[in-house]
């Protein structure tokens, strides 16, 4: 055990040992609910290819890898200053490269994308689901860009006949009334052209 402690507190591993203690302390605080994972975010990691996840996640992974590589290097190589500096540089390079690889599968978990808005439906086609659509009544089904569907409240200004199964174009959203304005659309079979 003494060899492990000597290696963990020898140069250059000692630099990463203190950072690793801070990382472990941070994640303990996250687990007990005292801190939030999103508490530290920044674009300063973009230049290293570590963007797309909270900075705390990227830095935690990088510190753990750098600590391990420097520990192994410190144990395997004699403790000469030049070799210790080489171990430090290699540990940083390996940590950066390995962290970039490990973050690839994690990015989709953290990418929320832009918030969906009701205005995203404007310009979309919908299918009427009620027997009629009037200036004060109607519902339709619309498919979002991600493939999910939603039942929405729709209204029409004219007297066109819109009933169940009819296609309509959403051309505006009324935020006060929380409904969409629609107009009938006649879909043609493009295979006949």
* pLDDT tens per residue across span 70-97: 999 988 888 888 999 999 999 999 999 9
Structure tokens at 77: 């190589």
Q: Which two tokens stand for residue 82?
A: 């030049």
Q: Which two tokens stand for residue 123?
A: 């310009």
Instruction: Evaluate the CA torsion angle 104, 108, 111, 116 in order and state its sign.
Output: positive
- State the Cα torsion 110-25-59-76 to the nearest 10°: -130
What are the boundaries of each domain within the chain?
2-110, 118-187
Separation between Cα atoms, residue 31 and residue 34, nearest integer Å: 8
Per the listing, tokens 């950066």 go with 96
CATH superfamily of 118-187: Nucleic acid-binding proteins (2.40.50.140)
Residue 192 pLDDT class (50, 70, 90 cuts):
very low
pLDDT in tens, 131-150: 999 999 999 999 887 778 88
Predicted structure pTM score: 0.56
């Amino acid at each position: 055990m003494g060899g492990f402690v000597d290696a963990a507190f020898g140069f250059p591993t000692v630099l990463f040992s203190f950072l690793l203690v801070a990382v472990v302390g941070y994640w303990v605080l996250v687990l007990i609910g005292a801190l939030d994972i999103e508490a530290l975010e920044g674009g300063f990691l973009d230049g290293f290819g570590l963007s797309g996840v909270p900075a705390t996640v990227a830095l935690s992974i990088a510190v753990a890898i750098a600590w391990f590589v420097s520990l192994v290097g410190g144990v395997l190589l004699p403790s000469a200053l030049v070799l210790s500096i080489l171990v430090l540089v290699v540990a940083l390079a390996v940590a950066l490269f390995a962290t970039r690889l490990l973050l690839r599968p994690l990015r989709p978990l953290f990418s929320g994308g832009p918030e969906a808005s009701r205005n995203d439906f404007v310009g979309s086609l919908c299918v009427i689901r009620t027997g009629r659509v009037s200036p004060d009544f109607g519902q339709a089904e619309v498919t979002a860009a991600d493939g999910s569907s939603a039942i929405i409240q729709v209204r029409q200004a004219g007297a066109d006949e819109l009933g169940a199964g009819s296609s309509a174009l959403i051309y505006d959203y009324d935020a006060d009334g929380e409904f969409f304005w629609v107009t009938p659309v006649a879909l043609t079979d493009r295979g006949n052209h």
